[in-house]
Protein backbone atom coordinates (compact mmCIF):
# COMPACT_ATOMS: atom_id res chain seq x y z
CA UNK A 1 0.00 0.00 0.00
CA UNK A 2 1.24 3.46 -0.94
CA UNK A 3 2.07 5.51 2.12
CA UNK A 4 -0.21 8.31 0.86
CA UNK A 5 -3.19 6.05 1.01
CA UNK A 6 -4.94 5.80 4.32
CA UNK A 7 -7.94 3.52 4.65
CA UNK A 8 -8.49 3.54 0.90
CA UNK A 9 -8.38 7.36 0.60
CA UNK A 10 -5.58 8.88 -1.35
CA UNK A 11 -4.11 12.01 0.22
CA UNK A 12 -3.51 14.96 -2.06
CA UNK A 13 0.05 15.64 -3.14
CA UNK A 14 1.29 18.89 -1.66
CA UNK A 15 1.57 21.58 -4.32
CA UNK A 16 4.84 23.41 -4.77
CA UNK A 17 3.30 26.76 -3.78
CA UNK A 18 1.99 25.21 -0.52
CA UNK A 19 5.44 24.13 0.59
CA UNK A 20 7.50 26.27 2.88
CA UNK A 21 10.41 27.55 0.86
CA UNK A 22 13.30 29.30 2.56
CA UNK A 23 12.56 33.02 2.70
CA UNK A 24 9.10 32.66 1.15
CA UNK A 25 7.33 34.04 4.19
CA UNK A 26 9.49 37.18 4.15
CA UNK A 27 8.89 37.67 0.41
CA UNK A 28 5.15 37.24 0.85
CA UNK A 29 5.04 39.73 3.74
CA UNK A 30 7.12 42.26 1.78
CA UNK A 31 4.63 41.93 -1.05
CA UNK A 32 1.88 43.33 1.19
CA UNK A 33 3.93 45.92 3.09
CA UNK A 34 3.14 49.51 2.17
CA UNK A 35 5.81 51.04 -0.04
CA UNK A 36 8.28 53.27 1.76
CA UNK A 37 8.17 56.93 0.93
CA UNK A 38 11.01 58.24 -1.21
CA UNK A 39 13.10 61.36 -0.53
CA UNK A 40 15.46 63.32 -2.75
CA UNK A 41 18.21 65.39 -1.11
CA UNK A 42 19.19 68.49 -3.12
CA UNK A 43 22.29 69.80 -1.34
CA UNK A 44 25.72 70.77 -2.67
CA UNK A 45 27.56 70.38 0.65
CA UNK A 46 28.34 66.67 0.83
CA UNK A 47 28.54 66.30 4.63
CA UNK A 48 25.19 68.06 5.09
CA UNK A 49 23.66 65.90 2.36
CA UNK A 50 24.80 62.76 4.19
CA UNK A 51 23.38 64.06 7.47
CA UNK A 52 20.05 64.81 5.77
CA UNK A 53 20.11 61.31 4.30
CA UNK A 54 20.56 59.82 7.77
CA UNK A 55 17.77 62.00 9.16
CA UNK A 56 15.33 60.95 6.43
CA UNK A 57 16.24 57.29 6.83
CA UNK A 58 15.46 57.64 10.54
CA UNK A 59 12.02 58.97 9.50
CA UNK A 60 11.51 55.74 7.50
CA UNK A 61 12.15 57.21 4.04
CA UNK A 62 14.16 55.61 1.26
CA UNK A 63 16.56 58.24 -0.01
CA UNK A 64 16.48 57.87 -3.78
CA UNK A 65 19.37 60.20 -4.46
CA UNK A 66 21.71 62.99 -3.48
CA UNK A 67 21.79 65.85 -5.98
CA UNK A 68 24.39 68.62 -5.71
CA UNK A 69 23.03 70.53 -8.73
CA UNK A 70 19.75 71.57 -10.33
CA UNK A 71 20.47 69.37 -13.34
CA UNK A 72 21.15 66.26 -11.23
CA UNK A 73 18.02 66.92 -9.11
CA UNK A 74 15.80 67.11 -12.19
CA UNK A 75 17.31 63.97 -13.67
CA UNK A 76 16.93 61.98 -10.45
CA UNK A 77 13.39 63.25 -9.90
CA UNK A 78 12.23 62.17 -13.34
CA UNK A 79 13.72 58.71 -12.87
CA UNK A 80 13.04 58.10 -9.16
CA UNK A 81 9.73 59.98 -8.59
CA UNK A 82 10.40 61.13 -5.01
CA UNK A 83 7.55 61.92 -2.64
CA UNK A 84 9.51 64.70 -0.94
CA UNK A 85 12.64 66.74 -1.57
CA UNK A 86 14.84 68.49 0.96
CA UNK A 87 16.31 71.43 -0.93
CA UNK A 88 19.07 73.90 -0.15
CA UNK A 89 18.40 77.41 -1.44
CA UNK A 90 21.96 77.99 -2.67
CA UNK A 91 23.20 75.61 -5.34
CA UNK A 92 25.87 76.38 -7.91
CA UNK A 93 26.65 79.73 -6.26
CA UNK A 94 23.17 81.27 -6.53
CA UNK A 95 19.61 80.80 -5.37
CA UNK A 96 19.19 78.01 -7.90
CA UNK A 97 17.59 75.74 -5.29
CA UNK A 98 14.40 77.80 -5.21
CA UNK A 99 13.76 77.28 -8.93
CA UNK A 100 14.73 73.63 -8.60
CA UNK A 101 12.15 73.22 -5.83
CA UNK A 102 9.47 75.02 -7.85
CA UNK A 103 10.13 72.71 -10.79
CA UNK A 104 10.10 69.57 -8.59
CA UNK A 105 6.72 70.58 -7.17
CA UNK A 106 5.10 71.68 -10.43
CA UNK A 107 6.42 69.00 -12.77
CA UNK A 108 6.88 66.00 -10.46
CA UNK A 109 4.32 66.74 -7.73
CA UNK A 110 7.06 66.44 -5.12
CA UNK A 111 6.52 67.94 -1.66
CA UNK A 112 9.26 70.43 -0.73
CA UNK A 113 11.09 71.29 2.50
CA UNK A 114 13.88 73.87 2.32
CA UNK A 115 16.92 73.33 4.52
CA UNK A 116 19.15 76.37 4.22
CA UNK A 117 21.54 78.76 5.92
CA UNK A 118 19.89 81.65 4.05
CA UNK A 119 16.82 82.68 5.99
CA UNK A 120 16.98 86.46 5.64
CA UNK A 121 13.71 88.31 4.97
CA UNK A 122 14.27 88.79 1.21
CA UNK A 123 15.14 85.12 0.67
CA UNK A 124 12.11 83.97 2.67
CA UNK A 125 9.81 86.25 0.64
CA UNK A 126 11.26 84.91 -2.59
CA UNK A 127 10.83 81.30 -1.41
CA UNK A 128 7.22 81.86 -0.37
CA UNK A 129 6.48 83.64 -3.64
CA UNK A 130 7.96 80.86 -5.83
CA UNK A 131 7.12 77.80 -3.68
CA UNK A 132 4.15 78.81 -1.48
CA UNK A 133 3.68 76.88 1.74
CA UNK A 134 7.03 75.11 1.67
CA UNK A 135 8.58 74.98 5.15
CA UNK A 136 11.99 76.61 5.55
CA UNK A 137 14.34 75.09 8.12
CA UNK A 138 17.66 76.50 9.24
CA UNK A 139 20.67 74.26 8.67
CA UNK A 140 21.72 75.01 12.22
CA UNK A 141 18.56 73.59 13.80
CA UNK A 142 16.81 71.51 11.11
CA UNK A 143 17.03 68.23 13.06
CA UNK A 144 14.74 69.64 15.75
CA UNK A 145 11.98 70.51 13.25
CA UNK A 146 12.48 68.12 10.35
CA UNK A 147 9.99 65.44 11.43
CA UNK A 148 7.22 68.01 11.94
CA UNK A 149 7.94 69.73 8.60
CA UNK A 150 7.98 66.41 6.72
CA UNK A 151 4.71 65.34 8.35
CA UNK A 152 3.14 68.68 7.48
CA UNK A 153 4.01 68.59 3.77
CA UNK A 154 3.18 64.90 3.50
CA UNK A 155 -0.44 65.64 4.42
CA UNK A 156 -0.98 67.77 1.32
User: What is the spatial distance between Cα 87 and Cα 77, in angstroms, rounded to a whole number?
Assistant: 12
Domain of 68, CATH number, reads 3.40.50.2300
Question: Residue 97 pLDDT more than 70?
Answer: yes
pLDDT at 118: 87
Least confident of 72-76, 99-103, 139-143: 139-143
User: What is the spatial distance between Cα 67 and Cα 151, in angstroms, rounded to a whole number?
Assistant: 22
Q: Is residue 86 part of a domain?
A: yes
Q: Is residue 121 part of a domain?
A: yes
More confident residue, 16 or 131: 131
Q: Is residue 30 part of a domain?
A: no
pLDDT at 12: 47
Question: Residue 151 pLDDT more than 50?
Answer: yes
Q: Is residue 146 part of a domain?
A: yes
Averaged confidence pLDDT in the chain:
84
Band the pLDDT of 42: cuts 50, 70, 90.
very high
Q: Is residue 22 part of a domain?
A: no
Question: Residue 105 pLDDT more than 80?
Answer: yes
Q: Is residue 40 part of a domain?
A: yes
Cβ distance 127 to 134 under 8 Å? yes
More confident residue, 150 or 101: 101
Q: What is the DSSP string of 50-71?
A: HHHHHHHHHTTEEEEEEESSHH
Band the pLDDT of 20: cuts 50, 70, 90.
low
Q: Is residue 27 part of a domain?
A: no
Across 32-44, average pLDDT = 86
Question: Residue 25 pLDDT more than 70?
Answer: no
Cβ distance 53 to 66 under 8 Å? yes
Domain extent for 72? 36-154
Say how many domains are in the chain.
1
Question: Residue 1 pLDDT more than 90?
Answer: no
Q: Is residue 131 part of a domain?
A: yes
Cβ distance 87 to 48 under 8 Å? no
Amino acid sequence: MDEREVLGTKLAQPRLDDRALPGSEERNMAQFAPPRRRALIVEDEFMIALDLQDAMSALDFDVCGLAPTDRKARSLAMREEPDIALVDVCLEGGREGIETARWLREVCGTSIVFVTAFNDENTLKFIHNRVPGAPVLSKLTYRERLAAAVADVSKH
